[in-house]
Amino acid sequence: MDRECVSLLPRVCEVLAASGSSLPDDTSLEKLLDWFTGLTKAGTSLLESCPCLLEFISTVVHNTALDPSILSFTLRLTGFVAVTEVAFKVLQESSVLDLVFNLQHWQEAGLWEDPCIRIGWIQGLRTMMQHPKALSFFVQADFLQPLLQLQTDKSLFVASAANQMLAHVLLSCQSVSSVGSNDVDEEGEDVGRSGGSIADLEYSAVTVETNQDYAAVVTAISECLKKSLVPRENTQLHQSLQILKLLALLLAQTRPPLWEKLLQMVADSVDELLVAGYSQLILPLMDVILAAYSSCDVNRRAPDQRVSRLLSFMLNIRKPADLIQAAAAFLRRGLHDLVHTAQSARVLLLPLDIITGLNLLTTTDEQRFLMMEQLKNKTSCISLICVCLTNTPQMTLMAADCLPCPPVLIVTAVLSLLKLCSGDSSSPSSSSSGCREVSRNVIGSSKVQKCALDALTALSGSPGVEVKLAEVFTLLVQCLDNPDSDPTVLQKSFQALVQWMSVCSDLSSITDQHRQDLLQVVRKRSCDIRWEVRDSTVEFLGRLAGVRVIQTTAEEASDASVAVLGGCCFTTPLLRAALQDTESYVRASAISALAQTLAASWQQGAALTQEQTEIVNQLLEVLSWDTEGFARRAVVRYFIAWLSSMSSHSCVQSPASSSLLMPSVRSVLSRGSADLDWEVKVHTLELAELLLDEAFSGQRGYTKGNPTQTHPYAVIPNTLHTRTHNEEDVVGVLNSLVQWGVVSALLSGLVDCDRPVALRACRLLITLREVVCPLSLGALDATAAMATVARVTCELPGCGWAREIRKMLVMKAKDANAEGGVSGGEVVNCDDCGEAGQEAASVGGQTPCVSVCEVLRSLDLDERLDVLTRSSDHVHNSPLSLLQDILTASSARSQPDTQQEVIADCY
Amino acid sequence: MKLYCLSGHPTLPCNVLKFKSTTIMLDCGLDTTSVLNFLPLPLVHSPRLSKLPGWISKDGTINLEKELKDCAGRVFVDSQPEFCLPERELLDLSTIDVILISNYHCMMALPYITEHTGFTGTVYATEPTLQIGRLLMEEVVNFMERVPKAQSATCWKNKEIQRMLPGPLKDAVDVWTWKRCYSMQEVNSALSKVQLVGYSQKVELFGAVQVSPLSSGYSLGSSNWIIQSHHEKVSYVSGSSLLTTHPQPMDQSSLKNSDVLILTGLTQMPTANPDGMLGEFCSNLAMTIRAGGNVLVPCYSSGVIYDLLECLYQFIESASLGTTPFYFISPVANSSLEFSQIFAEWLCHNKQTKVYLPEPPFPHAELIQTNKLKHYPSIHGDFSSEFRQPCVVFTGHPSLRFGDVVHFMELWGKSSLNTIIFTEPDFSYLDALAPYQPLAMKCVYCPIDTRLNFHQVSKLLKEVQPLHVVCPEQYTQPPLTQSHRSDLMLELQPPPMPYRRCSVLNLPFRRRYERVYILPELANSLVPSEIKPGVSVATVSAVVHSKDNKHTLQHGITEVKVEETADGHILHLQAEDTLIQLEEDGTHIVCDNNEPLRTTLRDLVLRFLQKL
């Protein structure tokens, strides 16, 4: 622990004990507790390192006039202090512990009404309860009854904490008993999950007597569970709900003897609850049953007969809404139970079956009738269908024998549901008035449409559904064409289309008519009045270009954009028009989509077209003039994509690319690094990094990416040494980096006021320095070894970032001169460059040159990196600052003249 | 109470309500779909239309070469277009006391009703309805009179001949009632009978009923009507909208507690949501302009066009259409655009507040100022010199049979770059296009009908709870083409009473009460006696005096002494000091110097004697 903090703590305790109301803000106490939690977790004994806490606790606990938040804090703090047995003993001997957790004490003071005291009491106990002594204390003080009462507390937080605590007590008792009875502890993991370290208990600590006490606790809790599970009247539903939550916690974590016992105690009550059929309790009940069931599953025990029976009962309830919920809950668990999985699937498919009339499954007339009646109500129809749709993708991935029908049929059903939604067709079974009433409920419901489209997207991966591609295609195009489709529906339709085409790579079933329809609709949607729709359309064009497909078996693979839309000749004009859009999101999406569309031609090294040149000019204009950051960021990303696709396939210096790419990259670097948006600048640095990677790949000392993240002893692969360290090479590369503007971009980034920008630039500069003029070489060695490299210079114009850099250089030079001697020579030695730098700094006007090496070696990059790596608020968030804040706030309060309002800094 | 239904068109209604001694006509819509059977009237000589072959029956027995022309595989009447009038034989139109107009689209048959039928009543309408209605009538008259046709085709209407004609002429109904367009003189005469009313203004009709217009939210000045007596209330709902467009929002609450609600003018496009259609309109327009084509929008000169222009005003920039010219061509274009700006009190709240700012309520003023929207009375004159392409043209008539639109169809129809976008829901776009086929230009159908849809009307009726609903029969079953859409019909309990053209409905409620006033002197003399707590009864003998459908109880003769004589009876009216001698051979009334009383008594006695 920080010595300074320790020295401040007693005063802080005094302040808190005196009056809590002078806290700098209401999160201070929480922050203090967080600090204590951290210390406890690190194994520090609080009492040993901060003995003042004992006095603090005993003072506070007697002063019931204090602010309840301080009292609650003290309760919780006591828990942390008493977490070790030694400290616990000390607290107990000083009779502090008894008073702190004495309910009567708080009730008499009239403080128990305050929920923060109650929750403090529970959490304090809970933290403390990590050793048998604490457990004994709990049992002997007879805290069980009050805890059980707190379970139905009117404060939700208190009730939930009480529940957690009860589970913790029971699990602790279980562990202690099992140690006492010499049971083999197979499930340390479970105990660990309950947050305790009880498994480490000493055997000797447990006496026969305490064992009986524990058994009594277990029995009391189980009795309570049994008694309170079934509500006597509707107003007690809340209590049942709490008990069910507790039960779910327990059944998931307890082991056989206790597990059995618990289950046996509550089985009848659960039965009773099931028969009573409270809809509000269905999900918690299902949680209990599934917790019990999965506990068998996880422990590879055969499912308990009772649990299986309960589960079967749940999956056959007569209330359709409850039934669907239960089935969905079961399916989500993904348990290995063929019978019940199949049953759940049947339940979940029933609404889809009824509404589409597709005979997906066979069910009893009664079930069908009940479900149909439920579906006639519009609200419940929509919610049931949505639950059903959300689960369909998971269903189709199940084993074939669990599914009542093949996945293809489910796709057909979803398609026919989508048709119903748009009011296009009637379901085959619409002859009955019931079905007509049901299908009427989904007409025009965009909620169902969205769910169905999500399901359809996910269903693309199901086995054997490829045959449906043409049908899906037709329907999605209809959805896209429908004037009433809302923007989200259109977006999801586009996504579904891309997904289906990427999964079903064989597009031979797509006819020319399909293509024409899609072309029309894309053209229309790219002119839509809503920008969200234009944005999704443009995005679609980009994503489609990234999908590889085969049109016919004879043909070669191409991208889907070429296959269905005819490729660039259709897409590019639309995207170029979108560059003029009034909405910046659309412009940004259009730029990304252009990059995706042109990626293929870049990779193939195809010759540049006039159009591409125009696009580049347009993009550079966007970078210079666009008022919104999104578009400008996208432009930089466009060039990143272009450059990386080129460098992965051919050399940067290849004539075809360098004619356009490299000059543009140069403009992007200079414009991007002068941008006002920090993300544009970060992207620009990414572009610079790409150029560095490309220039020095294989160069010794060059580590791609983040230099600070590489381990000092990391083995550098041999391949990196293949290129010999040729100084002439380095000079050439460095020269071209300077020419492209990489060095300027990095230097301007370094002095940027946005930390992410400066950090990235700093890392890259260090990387560059390590290749060009590593600091590991002594100053004189370096001078000698890099005489040629040092001649590479870059310009430092007289304004903005360059002035900052110059100032830094001058400062460095002054420092060096002051130190004198050898280190002074380091800078001055570089003949005219250093002087030129100095001159320029004082005179200004002309654009002087400095040696890149000199700059890199003089900027104290490592120190800078160290500062930049720490977050800007690292000082403000330290415990020391917290303690100081508390003290300052209290002194400000005691001297009202100098009182200033402290603005709360939220956590 | 009876309802006579003179029109079968659900959105162009014409009904007559007989309610307490009054005869009220509710709207007089003109069904103009009949013009689709006629050849277009080209403004500029069209070689194509002038050289069409005449029609002769296959066996050669019927030769109507002069009247019927074969055009694009269909037969059209070559004559000035005619309209299908409301039924005029069902009741004597001269007995109509008043005509209530709900919106400017529903008054186009007014001259046919008020002129040459003996009509002597009054027409009630709001000011925008009158002014814009006048513009629409003027426009139609102008369209027709600009291209006069010498001949009038009548032979084809002969029942025997019509039976032999190819469809759809063969299936046209009531062709003998079709009439040519009225003249401007008739329009002026008809409109001179209009009396202006404001929303919620109460108009007494002969003291029998009170009528009052309510805002219906559909168009400038559009209204629903409440027709009520002291104990009965009939609501007439016609062309209402709940969407937020330019007019004042619909007043729903005043429709509550109606005994009968006559429901007409629901949307003609229940499956086309206006917002979606507006989006379609804009994207198709932008798509065409970007590709270098022209856009033609056949539309009425008032109504949805204001909303279209407003929507385009916002869309122009985002779709980079800033340089594309928008033309609005109509003989009344200027008046329509300007009228819309001055009816501030009839606009929605949002636009009303703009009146207090230095900006006009509708943004089309700015479009005009910045020269993006230009308006012309016709394609002749200034327009021809300033016309630039690609452009967007708004012009009438939406039937494509007359007006400047005919010229643009001939001009642009052959290029696939151009697009025609239909926004008015009144005409089937395929029928409208029939005489122009084969057509290379792209056709887009985005009917924008802001009137209530079935979902909205169900909600409305749940809210206002009328006892009975009367509606066109079309609303009681799903549309023919979408028989599975049971959501596209009215399902009510009790079921609505359907009507069709020429129906006469006995409205299912009886008048049971009438309000009678008691004069204060009479009321003073009453001696009520309490028969149970809160209920007192008194006997009244008085005279009922009825005038202007108002009934008043007045003091009459109260004390009469009857004496028997040998020959008969003597009645002594003591207060009046009058004797009535009734004898076998003579009756004498002895009245001192009160000649009026004597005459009244004489008449009364005579009436009784006659009854005996």
The winner for highest mean pLDDT among A640-644, B14-18, B339-343 is B14-18
Q: Across residues B392-415, what is the average pLDDT?
A: 95
A430 contacts on B by Cβ (under 8 Å) = 484
Residues A463 and A880: their CA atoms lie apart, in Å, by: 60
Question: Residue A782: which pLDDT band, with cuts at 50, 70 and 90?
Answer: low
Q: Taking CA B317 as the corner, what is the angle to CA B316 and CA B321, rounded to the nearest 5 degrees?
A: 50
The answer to whether A634 and A591 are in contact (CB under 8 A) is yes
Task: Please tell me whether residue A445 adopts helix, strand or coil conformation.
Answer: coil
Residues B80 and B63: their CA atoms lie apart, in Å, by: 20
| Res A289: pLDDT | 86
A481 touching B (Cβ < 8 Å): no
Closest by Cα among A162, A96, A71, A178 to A125 = A162
B276 touching A (Cβ < 8 Å): yes
Q: Is the ipTM of this complex over 0.85?
A: no
Mark which residues 405-424 of A lie under 8 Å from B by CB: 423
Encoded tokens for A475? 């329907």
Beta bridge partners of B225: B213, B236
Per-residue pLDDT tens over the stretch A587-600: 999 999 999 998 88
Across the interface, whether the CB atoms of B486 and A436 are under 8 A apart is answered: yes
- What CA–CA distances, in Å, run from A705 to A176, A634, A693, A694, A856? 52, 22, 8, 12, 18
Burial B96-135 (b: 16+ CB within 10 A, else e): bbbbbbbbbbbbbbbbbbbbeeebebbbbbbbbbbbbbbb
Most distant CA pair in chain B, distance: 112
Which residues neighbour B377 within 8 Å (Cβ) at sequence distance 6 or greater?
B329, B330, B331, B332, B333, B334
pLDDT over 80 at A424, yes or no: no
pLDDT over 50 at A499, yes or no: yes
- Rounded to the nearest angstrom, the minimum Cα separation between B454 and chain A is 13
pLDDT over 50 at A825, yes or no: no
Across the interface, whether the CB atoms of A582 and B286 are under 8 A apart is answered: no
Per-residue pLDDT tens over the stretch A594-639: 999 988 888 877 778 888 889 999 999 999 999 899 999 999 999 9
Please report, as a single letter, which amino acid is at residue A524: K
Partner residue facing A530 (CB), from B272, B279, B320: B279
* Position with higher pLDDT, B40 vs A303: B40
Dihedral of CA A345/A349/A350/A353: which sign?
A: negative
**Of all residues in chain A, what percent carry a pLDDT higher than 70?**
80
**Of all residues in chain B, what percent carry a pLDDT higher than 90?**
64
Give, rounded to a whole angstrom, the gap between the first and last alpha carbons of chain B: 34
B276 contacts on A by Cβ (under 8 Å) = 482-485
Q: Across residues B78-104, what is the average pLDDT?
A: 94
Query: Residues in chain B, how many?
Result: 612
B273 touching A (Cβ < 8 Å): yes
Residues A36 and A142: their CA atoms lie apart, in Å, by: 28
| Res A827: pLDDT | 40
Q: Taking CA B606 as the corner, what is the angle to CA B604 and CA B611, rounded to the nearest 5 degrees?
A: 100
Across the interface, whether the CB atoms of A581 and B318 are under 8 A apart is answered: yes
Q: Across residues A812-826, what is the average pLDDT?
A: 61
A577 contacts on B by Cβ (under 8 Å) = 290, 320
Task: Please tell me whether residue A853 adopts helix, strand or coil conformation.
Answer: helix
Which secondary-structure segment (H or E) carries A126? helix A115-128
pLDDT over 50 at A452, yes or no: yes
Per DSSP (E only), the strands in A198-321 are none
Beta bridge partners of B578: B573, B591
Residues A640 and A205: their CA atoms lie apart, in Å, by: 66
The winner for highest mean pLDDT among A851-860, B468-477, B580-589, B599-608 is B468-477
pLDDT over 70 at A283, yes or no: yes
pLDDT over 60 at A869, yes or no: yes
Partner residue facing A527 (CB), from B287, B446, B485: B287
pLDDT over 50 at A192, yes or no: no
The winner for highest mean pLDDT among A82-96, A260-274, A348-362, B394-408 is B394-408
Across the interface, whether the CB atoms of B273 and A524 are under 8 A apart is answered: no
In 3-state terms chain A splits into helix, strand, coil percentages (rounded to 5) of 70, 0, 25
Beta bridge partners of B443: B420
The answer to whether B279 and A528 are in contact (CB under 8 A) is yes
Half-sphere exposure for B320 (CA within 13 Å, toward CB): 14
A525 touching B (Cβ < 8 Å): yes
B504-506 and B2-5 beta bridge pairing? antiparallel
Question: Phi and psi (nearest 5°) for B374?
Answer: -125, 145
B478 touching A (Cβ < 8 Å): no
> Which range has the worst mean pLDDT, A235-249, B156-170, B187-201, B342-356?
A235-249
Question: Number of CB pairs < 8 Å for A and B?
Answer: 59
Please report, as a single letter, which amino acid is at residue A225: L
CB neighbours of residue A436 within 10 Å: 17
A421 contacts on B by Cβ (under 8 Å) = none
Residues B419 and B284: their CA atoms lie apart, in Å, by: 8
pLDDT over 60 at A319, yes or no: yes
Query: Residues in chain A, how many?
Result: 907
- Rounded to the nearest angstrom, the minimum Cα separation between A609 and chain B is 22
A576 touching B (Cβ < 8 Å): no
Partner residue facing A527 (CB), from B286, B484, B486: B286
Mutate to test the interface with B, among A527, A574, A584 (most CBs of B within 10 A): A527
* Position with higher pLDDT, B610 vs B300: B300
**What residue in A sits closest to B487 (Cα-Cα)?**
A440
Question: Phi and psi (nearest 5°) for A377?
Answer: -80, 125
A583 contacts on B by Cβ (under 8 Å) = 318
Residues B450 and B219: their CA atoms lie apart, in Å, by: 9
Question: Phi and psi (nearest 5°) for B86?
Answer: -65, 155
Across the interface, whether the CB atoms of B487 and A583 are under 8 A apart is answered: no
Residues B420 and B466: their CA atoms lie apart, in Å, by: 43
Mutate to test the interface with A, among B315, B445, B487 (most CBs of A within 10 A): B487
Per DSSP (E only), the strands in B240-347 are 260-264, 295-298, 326-329
Q: Which long-range contacts (CB under 8 A, 24 or more apart) does B188-193 make?
A: B189/B111, B189/B114, B189/B115, B190/B110, B190/B111, B190/B113, B190/B114, B190/B115, B190/B123, B191/B110, B191/B130, B191/B133, B191/B134, B191/B137, B193/B114, B193/B119, B193/B121, B193/B122, B193/B123
pLDDT over 90 at B64, yes or no: no
B487 contacts on A by Cβ (under 8 Å) = 440, 443
Closest by Cα among B550, B542, B536 to B523 = B542
Question: Residue A730: which pLDDT band, with cuts at 50, 70 and 90?
Answer: confident
pLDDT over 80 at A99, yes or no: yes
**Of all residues in chain A, what percent carry a pLDDT higher than 90?**
21
Per-residue pLDDT tens over the stretch B5-36: 999 999 999 999 999 889 999 999 999 999 99
Across the interface, whether the CB atoms of A483 and B273 are under 8 A apart is answered: yes
| Res A102: pLDDT | 86
Q: Which long-range contacts (CB under 8 A, 24 or more apart) does B366-369 make?
A: B366/B313, B367/B309, B367/B312, B367/B313, B367/B326, B368/B337
Beta bridge partners of B547: B550
| Res A22: pLDDT | 66
B308 touching A (Cβ < 8 Å): no
| Res A169: pLDDT | 84
Per-residue pLDDT tens over the stretch B301-337: 998 899 899 999 888 877 778 889 999 999 999 999 9
Which secondary-structure segment (H or E) carries B122? strand B122-125
B549 touching A (Cβ < 8 Å): no
Question: Residue A820: which pLDDT band, with cuts at 50, 70 and 90?
Answer: low
The answer to whether A293 and A314 are in contact (CB under 8 A) is no
Question: Residue A846: which pLDDT band, with cuts at 50, 70 and 90?
Answer: low
A478 contacts on B by Cβ (under 8 Å) = none
| Res A645: pLDDT | 84
The answer to whether B37 and B168 are in contact (CB under 8 A) is yes
DSSP-derived secondary structure letter, B355: T
> Chain-wide mean pLDDT for chain A?
79
B311 touching A (Cβ < 8 Å): yes
DSSP per residue, B418-432:
-EEEE--TTS-HHHH
Helices (H), A430-565: 433-442, 446-459, 469-481, 487-503, 512-525, 531-545, 560-565
Residues A61 and A71: their CA atoms lie apart, in Å, by: 7
| Res A13: pLDDT | 85
pLDDT over 60 at A582, yes or no: yes
CB neighbours of residue B47 within 10 Å: 8
B273 contacts on A by Cβ (under 8 Å) = 483-484
| Res A720: pLDDT | 40
Per-residue pLDDT tens over the stretch B124-144: 999 999 999 999 999 999 999
> Chain-wide mean pLDDT for chain B?
92
Mark which residues 653-712 of A lie under 8 Å from B by CB: none
Q: Which long-range contacts (CB under 8 A, 24 or more apart) does A58-64 make?
A: A58/A94, A58/A96, A58/A99, A59/A17, A60/A16, A60/A17, A61/A96, A61/A99, A61/A100, A61/A105, A62/A99, A63/A17, A64/A105, A64/A106, A64/A109, A64/A111
> pTM for the whole thing?
0.82
Q: Where does residue A366 rank: exposed (0-12), middle (13-18), buried (19+ CB within 10 A)?
A: exposed
Half-sphere exposure for A830 (CA within 13 Å, toward CB): 31
Which secondary-structure segment (H or E) carries B25? strand B22-26
